[in-house]
A and B are shown apart, each in its own frame.
Chain A
Amino acid sequence: MNGPSNTDEMGGGEGYWELVWIQLKKNRGGMTGLIIAFLLFSLAATAPLVANDRPIIAQYNGNMSFPAFQTYVDVWVPWRSMRYGMKSFKVAGTFPMSEHYPELEGQTWKEVRDSPEMGFSVWPLVQWHPNQFDADSLKQEISKDHWLGTDDLGRDVLSRLIHGTVVAMLVGIIAMSISSAIGITLGVIAGFFGGWVDIFLSRGTEVVMCFPSFFLIIAVIAFLEPSIVNIMLVLGFVGWTRIFRLIRGEVLLVRNLDYIAAARSMGLSQTRIMFRHVLPNVVAPVLVAVPFGIAGAVLAETSLSFLGFGDPSVPSWGEIVYQGRAYVSQGLWHLTLFPGIAIFITLTAFNLFGQGLRDAMDPKLRH
């Protein structure tokens, strides 16, 4: 078994990935992790339809509208200015992005729920918006209305947890994409060119690795304005060193193989060889690093939010724990316990999946 380098001959690389998939299916922990991760992504993708204070579909005065979908802009667009821009943009009729529903005449959807004008409606599972203040139920424990209680501003914890999935997944994916892009590019360049380029890049990586990265992240985040985007960017720009080292090592192994020499003899350009011939054969180890990287980014983001550097307008799990910390002595245990469990499940899922993937891709463990 020659591992990844066989992909080109085997046409589309199905052979290798099929083997990995078979191995992964045998790994119970890995599969559990994968399934939970998939569920988390699905929850994040449908968060506005699962927890919201407005119906998914509503027929009001005979007009059909889809109010819950507008929350997608709030949730899935992390850039604040872009969010405002998109909300002021109105698509005719069916998909109003704007908050205003003139036909409601200033009432909320909940208030008109039982009115005679309301025809047919489909409501989300949790009928609270994550940022909706409920002055009547501050610091409530578990109740019929609020299944996981409310925080000090009366916001529903369950709804915030569900929407927190979006934040966690966004941070995990974007931070990981940034660090993968940087790590892969630099790693291929360092390994492929070698010499001074390699020395320079490897030394640079060593410098970044020696940094007290969490401390540095706090420093940078504290100087920037609180925004989830900044957290993603900073985590992405700090976390690429591991991928760099993995890729560089793989490239060093691959670059002297015959098929690279063949590509050279055909007179292909350096860039083409680097990215079309070397890169596809070295990315496999990065895939193992991805789940671990996502887990790391989620942990870092929740830690930052816990320290109070998060974006207060975004429901992050860490921020709920941060709020809960202030009320520990008042017995608001639900503010601490539930987000912690959410973080724990996420970390476990991605760690399990990563481990399963690593085992599946390790030729030594294959029979």
Chain B
Amino acid sequence: MIRYIFKRIVAMIPTLFGITLITFFIINLAPGDPVATQFGAGDQQNTDGGENQDQDRQSDAIKAKKELLGMLAEDKTVFAWSPVAAGDGLVAMEWDRRVGSFDGWIHALIRVGDTWVAGGDEGLLQVLENSGSVRSTLEGHTVGVWALALSPDGQTMASADIEGNLRVWRGGAEIGFAEGDKKPIRDLAFTGDGTGILATSDTGSIRLFDAQTVSMKREYIGHTSGVYALAMAPDGAHFWSGGYDRTLRYWSLDKSQPLHESKDHAQAINDIAVSGDLVATACDDRLVRVYTYSGGDLSDPIELKGHYKQVSAVTFSADAKRVFSGSRDETIRVWNTATGAAIAQTPNKTGRVHTLVFHDGELYSGADSWSEVAIAVRYVKWLGRLVTLDFGRSFVDEEPVIDKIAKALPITLYLNVIAIFLIYGISIPIGIYAAIRRGRLFDNVSSIMLFILYSIPNFWLATMLIMMFSSKRTMDLLPSVGLHGANAGNMSYLSWLGDWSMHLALPMIVMVYAGFARLSRFVRTSMLETIQQDYVRTARAKGLSEKLVMMKHAFRNSLIVIVTLVGNLLPALIGGSVIVEFIFSINGMGKLGFDAILSRDYPTIMAITTFSAILTLCGILVSDILYSVVDPRVVNE
């Protein structure tokens, strides 16, 4: 018996596989872009340097949706770019190689000795060879690392994460730790003598830590909101800072107040680069500004215009003749420092740049780029997640689909279970009685009645019932919306039960009548067939009472055919629940699926289709098992 069930389950696996295949490809190859449908526009690339921020935001949102669908994949990589020189002007940025790939965004990258150290949303620090292979990982941080700094002697490294934890490393081992305040440290810098570490804070202060003891020595107050960027001046005793309050400030290490302040920026400052007397800033207002500072006022920066989205990183070449800037517009651009002219840029879709480092004639970028995922790959991934019952997140409200199903399925299931019990409970006696009284009045009348019921379309019956029983114009007897009244939460148990059964009455009639008509006829036919069998005649000949003959000999054997119907009834009820739940506003699987179809919520549609198919298979399995119980011969076949 168990072997038989097992065999049946194994036989279902290819079927299930086929179902997933068809579901996935029908939904994904359906005409029309689901994302465009949601946003009412296509994925427009704004490359004309336009000013429309809404469009930027929209294209970001489209990307996020596409990633949710698995149509796009993020590629978080450190790339190396070779500036190609021709004559004295630089003409192109050429992609050189990939230095490393990560699971989270890369926010910080520094050169330590002959290796790269990268930190990002993954939380651990990766030590990379120049070739890109991972030499080791430094474990300690548990959340995203957004800042890294190297001491001037190149021996000590500091790292900080988004919970404000500061760790100091030397020779691959952690030598100091300062507990954070749960707010991110966005940038770090070592002082010129290597004894102190400057750290930003989202509260607006800049803190100086002792490099040995990792304890706070000093606080620099001036910024009114979060500080995003820090850079040491070449003399090692002064530093620059900028942040969300749109100011660039110049500080001396031993004064708590800023020496100079610039208010040129229209948006937050994301990064600062310093080389000699040149200071470059990357700003959310899409500009890169280059200041020449010689002790006087900070004024008249050269504005480098070109990026059409927020600039997130900036750095100088070794000779400071060029500025490199990376932006969320997915390009890296190269500028002439003296004239501010754009020299070159990387191809579009380089990826959103988070950090830039210039080293040894090459530019290194930590970026996340997007790439289209082939449909076959998406299918395999989807299938893989399906095994763990992970149906992804809804396209509409980003709620996990499995949660939605978990809410809707019990409602549909209990409605169906009640319906099946009602169908069997009513139609078996009617069918038996009609068979016994074959050709008499009861048989004829019930046959005609059931035939009429069988041909009534359920949506029409439902609408007629609502019109008759829950319209103010006729009889306002039964509610027609939902399963519970408005104040069902405050009712006593009995009145709750009454309210519930009132709500249930109309949907139940609609769910039951067709199955009821079909099953009664089925029971009648199968009873008629068994009544004609020899063993029934034998039982009668033995002199058994008619009741005993019918119940024990005829009905029991006709059950064999009846139980097989259970399996067929289950999927039909779930398919039919779309209409019933739509009409009566019941939040079950059918309504969920219907709404998902209307809003093109692909993950939900795919999940429901697969789920219903699985339920159907379960129904078939159940009827097979029941069949083998009533007729043990099948197991041995």
- Decide whether A and B assemble into one complex: yes
Q: Which residues of A contact B (CB under 8 A)?
A: 203-204, 206-208, 210-216, 218-220, 222-224, 295, 299, 302-303, 306-307, 318, 321, 324-325, 328-329, 331, 333, 336-337, 339-340, 343-344, 347-348, 351-352
Out of A210, A331, A340, A351, which one reaches B451, CB within 8 Å?
Answer: A351
Q: Is B440 an interface residue (CB 8 A)?
A: no
Question: How far, in whole Å, are A188 and B253 apart by their CA atoms in the complex?
Answer: 89
Which residues in A have their C-beta under 8 angstroms from that of B459?
A: 302-303, 306-307, 318, 321
B26, B455, B571, B597: which has the most chain A beta carbons within 10 Å? Answer: B455
- Nearest opposing residue in chain B for A352, CB measure: B451
Which residues in A have their C-beta under 8 angstroms from that of B473?
A: 329, 331
When A302-B457, A329-B471, A340-B457 are in contact, do A218 and B597 touch as well, CB less than 8 Å? yes
Task: Determine if B460 and A344 form an interchain contact, defined as CB atoms under 8 angstroms apart.
Answer: yes
B31, B457, B467: which has the most chain A beta carbons within 10 Å? Answer: B457
Q: How far is the CB of B11 from chain A (nearest CB, A)?
A: 9
A213, A222, A318: which has the most chain B beta carbons within 10 Å? Answer: A222
Out of A204, A207, A218, which one reaches B594, CB within 8 Å?
Answer: A218
Which residues in A have their C-beta under 8 angstroms from that of B597?
A: 218-219, 222
Q: DSSP class of A's interface residues: helix, strand, loop or mixed?
A: helix
Task: Determine if B15 and A207 form an interchain contact, defined as CB atoms under 8 angstroms apart.
Answer: yes
Enumerate 21 A-B pairs (CB-CB under 8 Å) in ascending A order: A207-B18, A207-B19, A210-B19, A214-B575, A214-B578, A215-B575, A215-B578, A302-B459, A303-B459, A321-B460, A325-B463, A328-B467, A329-B472, A329-B473, A331-B471, A336-B464, A340-B460, A340-B461, A347-B456, A348-B452, A351-B454
Q: DSSP class of B's interface residues: helix, strand, loop or mixed?
A: helix
Count contacts between A and B, CB distance < 8 Å. 126
When A211-B22, A215-B612 are in contact, do A223 and B31 touch as well, CB less than 8 Å? yes
Question: How far, in whole Å, are A236 and B375 apart by their CA atoms in the complex?
Answer: 27
Q: How far is the CB of B97 from chain A (nearest CB, A)?
A: 43
Task: Determine if A336 and B27 form an interchain contact, defined as CB atoms under 8 angstroms apart.
Answer: no
Out of A211, A302, A348, which one reaches B455, CB within 8 Å?
Answer: A348
Question: How far, in whole Å, are A213 and B613 apart by their CA atoms in the complex?
Answer: 10
Question: How far, in whole Å, are A257 and B26 apart by their CA atoms in the complex?
Answer: 41
Question: How far, in whole Å, are A203 and B27 apart by their CA atoms in the complex?
Answer: 21
Task: Determine if B31 and A219 form an interchain contact, defined as CB atoms under 8 angstroms apart.
Answer: no
Which residues in A have their C-beta under 8 angstroms from that of B27?
A: 219
Which residues in B have their C-beta under 8 angstroms from that of A224?
A: 31
Which residues in A have their C-beta under 8 angstroms from that of B594?
A: 218, 307
Q: Is B258 an interface residue (CB 8 A)?
A: no
Quick one: which of B466-512 are within 8 Å of A by CB? 466-467, 471-473
Q: How far is the CB of B20 from chain A (nearest CB, A)?
A: 10
Chain B 579-618 interface 0/1 with A at a Cβ cutoff of 8 Å (1 = within) = 1001100000010011001101000010011001100110
Task: Determine if A303 and B575 form an interchain contact, defined as CB atoms under 8 angstroms apart.
Answer: no
Task: Determine if B582 and A307 form an interchain contact, defined as CB atoms under 8 angstroms apart.
Answer: yes
Q: How far is the CB of B529 from chain A (nearest CB, A)?
A: 10
Which residues in A have their C-beta under 8 angstroms from that of B616?
A: 210-212
Task: Determine if B598 and A348 form an interchain contact, defined as CB atoms under 8 angstroms apart.
Answer: no
Which residues in B have their C-beta under 8 angstroms from that of A329?
A: 471-473
Given contacts A222-B597, A337-B464, 5 further A-B contacts (CB under 8 A): A210-B617, A211-B613, A212-B612, A325-B583, A336-B460
Closest CB pairs A-B (n = 5): A207-B18, A340-B460, A212-B612, A347-B455, A223-B30
Task: Determine if A212 and B472 form an interchain contact, defined as CB atoms under 8 angstroms apart.
Answer: no
Which residues in A have their C-beta under 8 angstroms from that of B582?
A: 307
Which residues in B have their C-beta under 8 angstroms from that of A203?
A: 14-15, 18
A208, A210, A299: which has the most chain B beta carbons within 10 Å? Answer: A210
Task: Determine if A212 and B18 form an interchain contact, defined as CB atoms under 8 angstroms apart.
Answer: no
When A328-B467, A329-B471, A348-B451 are in contact, do A220 and B30 touch as well, CB less than 8 Å? yes
- Nearest opposing residue in chain B for A199, CB measure: B14
Question: How far, in whole Å, are A220 and B27 apart by their CA atoms in the complex?
Answer: 8
Which residues in A have their C-beta under 8 angstroms from that of B617?
A: 210
Question: How far, in whole Å, are A223 and B456 apart by their CA atoms in the complex?
Answer: 28
- Nearest opposing residue in chain A for B462, CB measure: A325
Task: Determine if B463 and A324 form an interchain contact, defined as CB atoms under 8 angstroms apart.
Answer: yes
Q: Is B89 an interface residue (CB 8 A)?
A: no
Quick one: which of B21-64 are within 8 Å of A by CB? 22, 26-27, 30-32
Question: How far, in whole Å, are A320 and B61 apart by their CA atoms in the complex?
Answer: 40
Task: Determine if B471 and A328 form an interchain contact, defined as CB atoms under 8 angstroms apart.
Answer: yes
Which residues in A have their C-beta under 8 angstroms from that of B579?
A: 303, 306-307
When A211-B22, A215-B578, A220-B30 are in contact, do A321 and B455 touch as well, CB less than 8 Å? no
Out of B15, B457, B467, B471, which one reaches A210, CB within 8 Å?
Answer: B15
Question: How far, in whole Å, are A218 and B30 apart by their CA atoms in the complex?
Answer: 13
Q: Is B574 an interface residue (CB 8 A)?
A: yes
- Nearest opposing residue in chain A for B576, CB measure: A214
Q: How far is the CB of B32 from chain A (nearest CB, A)?
A: 6
- Nearest opposing residue in chain B for A324, CB measure: B463
- Nearest opposing residue in chain A for B608, CB measure: A215
Question: How far, in whole Å, are A68 and B451 apart by their CA atoms in the complex?
Answer: 38
Task: Determine if B466 and A328 form an interchain contact, defined as CB atoms under 8 angstroms apart.
Answer: yes
Which residues in B have their C-beta under 8 angstroms from that of A213?
A: 575
Q: How far is the CB of B57 from chain A (nearest CB, A)?
A: 27
Task: Determine if B15 and A343 form an interchain contact, defined as CB atoms under 8 angstroms apart.
Answer: no
Q: How far is the CB of B473 from chain A (nearest CB, A)?
A: 5
Question: How far, in whole Å, are A213 and B609 apart by their CA atoms in the complex?
Answer: 9
Which residues in A have their C-beta under 8 angstroms from that of B22?
A: 207-208, 211
Question: How far, in whole Å, are A114 and B612 apart by their CA atoms in the complex?
Answer: 62
Out of B456, B463, B575, B576, which one reaches A336, CB within 8 Å?
Answer: B463
Q: How far is the CB of A336 from chain B (nearest CB, A)?
A: 5
Which residues in B have their C-beta under 8 angstroms from that of A206?
A: 15, 18
Q: How far is the CB of B372 from chain A (nearest CB, A)?
A: 21
Which residues in B have their C-beta under 8 angstroms from that of A321?
A: 459-460, 463
Question: How far, in whole Å, are A137 and B300 apart by their CA atoms in the complex?
Answer: 75
Question: How far, in whole Å, are A307 and B597 apart by their CA atoms in the complex?
Answer: 12
Which residues in A have their C-beta under 8 angstroms from that of B461?
A: 340
Task: Determine if A344 and B31 form an interchain contact, defined as CB atoms under 8 angstroms apart.
Answer: no
Task: Determine if A303 and B457 form an interchain contact, defined as CB atoms under 8 angstroms apart.
Answer: yes
Which residues in A have their C-beta under 8 angstroms from that of B31?
A: 223-224
Which residues in B have their C-beta under 8 angstroms from that of A218?
A: 578, 593-594, 597
Chain B 420-461 interface 0/1 with A at a Cβ cutoff of 8 Å (1 = within) = 000000000000000000000000000000011011111111
Task: Determine if B609 and A211 form an interchain contact, defined as CB atoms under 8 angstroms apart.
Answer: yes
Which residues in A have their C-beta under 8 angstroms from that of B454?
A: 351
Which residues in A have their C-beta under 8 angstroms from that of B15?
A: 203, 206-207, 210
Task: Determine if B578 and A343 form an interchain contact, defined as CB atoms under 8 angstroms apart.
Answer: no
A208, A212, A219, A220: which has the most chain B beta carbons within 10 Å? Answer: A212
Task: Determine if B609 and A351 form an interchain contact, defined as CB atoms under 8 angstroms apart.
Answer: no
Which residues in B have their C-beta under 8 angstroms from that of A223?
A: 30-32, 600
Task: Determine if A210 and B613 form an interchain contact, defined as CB atoms under 8 angstroms apart.
Answer: yes
- Nearest opposing residue in chain B for A302, CB measure: B457
Task: Determine if A204 and B18 form an interchain contact, defined as CB atoms under 8 angstroms apart.
Answer: yes
- Nearest opposing residue in chain A for B582, CB measure: A307
Question: How far, in whole Å, are A211 and B16 apart by their CA atoms in the complex?
Answer: 10
When A210-B616, A211-B19 are in contact, do A328 and B460 touch as well, CB less than 8 Å? no
Which residues in A have their C-beta under 8 angstroms from that of B451?
A: 348, 351-352
Q: How far is the CB of A165 from chain B (nearest CB, A)?
A: 16
Question: How far, in whole Å, are A319 and B459 apart by their CA atoms in the complex?
Answer: 11
Out of B467, B575, B576, B605, which one reaches A219, CB within 8 Å?
Answer: B605
Task: Determine if A212 and B471 form an interchain contact, defined as CB atoms under 8 angstroms apart.
Answer: no
Question: How far, in whole Å, are A95 and B236 apart by their CA atoms in the complex?
Answer: 97
